[in-house]
């Protein structure tokens, strides 16, 4: 039993306000990339987690991974004792603005709900685990608002290619939000659908990631990555995702994105391909 946990990409990210408790209110168009982690389960024995994969070493020191927290929250909600041996194939960089931990937690909830035969409010449980977890449980393009708990249908996304690049520098989300300066942005207004990548890029180009300047101040390498992405042949738009340091570039096709990714420095984490399609097995 296994499940794919795709990377979450913020095509834009506006900070539109701040609650009295200090949490920022967001407006973001979220899509999912064909890059991701994978979680598998042997449904027997005591609850345990083994972390493997090229990016797994960064999580080895954690005593309580989000995947285990998700498993325990689900078991508690169902009134059962958690069980099963989980294996996390970690392919996405940690603390990188593409929701790797959130995607893993969301995938764990979905996988174990099926394996344990549990009917539970997965979206409600997801909100207790982190702002990005609900949209990752849903696993489809969405307009994400509030502190991540308000999800509305996204415009129809055309077929596009995407390159992801990370300079292998971790950027903790709270640190980036704390460093952000300036006022608040307006919510974005989108059509019901885009006919092609060029039309979508034209609308996205008028928007921004309100955390980008703060991230660059903390991690100048972000600016280097953005410049490299903009210089790639065929790149239509480049921007930072989430709180960084991963950045993306959009292309006309998945094939063009795969070729472009090979141009980037070999010591960066990099990936090129198409968007995740939830109805297609990966």
Which residues does the annotation mark as catalytic?
A: 8, 132
Report the greatest alpha carbon distance in the chain: 54
Beta carbons within 10 angstroms of residue 158's beta carbon: 16
Task: Give 254: exposed, middle or buried? Use CB within 10 Å, 0-12, 13-18, 19+.
Answer: middle
Q: Which DSSP string corresponds to 151-185? A: EEEPPBPPP-EEEEEE-S----HHHHHHH--S--P
- Computed on alpha carbons and rounded to an integer, the radius of gyration of the chain in Å comes to 18
Q: Residue 51 in contact with residue 90, Cβ under 8 Å? A: yes
């Amino acid at each position: 039993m296994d499940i794919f946990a795709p990377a979450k990409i913020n095509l834009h990210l506006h900070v539109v306000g701040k609650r009295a408790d200090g949490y920022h209110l967001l407006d973001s168009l979220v899509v999912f990339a064909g890059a991701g982690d994978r979680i598998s389960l042997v449904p027997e024995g005591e609850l345990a987690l083994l972390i493997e994969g090229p990016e797994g070493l960064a999580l080895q020191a954690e005593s309580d991974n989000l995947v285990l927290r998700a498993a325990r929250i689900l078991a508690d909600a169902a009134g059962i004792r958690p069980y099963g041996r989980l294996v996390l194939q970690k392919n996405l960089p940690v603390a990188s603005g593409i929701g790797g931990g959130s995607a893993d937690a969301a995938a764990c909830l979905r996988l174990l709900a099926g394996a344990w035969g549990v009917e539970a409010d997965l979206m409600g449980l997801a909100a207790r685990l982190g702002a990005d977890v609900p949209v990752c449980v849903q696993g489809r393009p969405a307009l994400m608002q509030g502190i991540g708990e308000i999800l509305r249908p996204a415009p129809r996304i055309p077929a596009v290619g995407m390159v992801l690049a990370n300079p292998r520098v971790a950027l903790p989300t709270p640190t980036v939000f704390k460093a952000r300066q300036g006022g608040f942005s307006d919510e974005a207004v989108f059509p019901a659908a885009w006919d092609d990548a060029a039309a979508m890029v034209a609308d996205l180009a008028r928007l921004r990631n309100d955390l980008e300047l703060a991230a660059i101040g903390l991690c100048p390498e972000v600016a280097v990555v953005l410049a490299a992405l903009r210089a790639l042949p065929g790149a239509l738009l480049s921007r930072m995702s989430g709180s960084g340091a991963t950045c993306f570039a959009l292309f006309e096709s998945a094939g063009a994105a795969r070729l472009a990714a090979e141009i980037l420095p070999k010591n960066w984490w990099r990936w090129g391909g198409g968007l995740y399609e939830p109805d297609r097995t990966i």
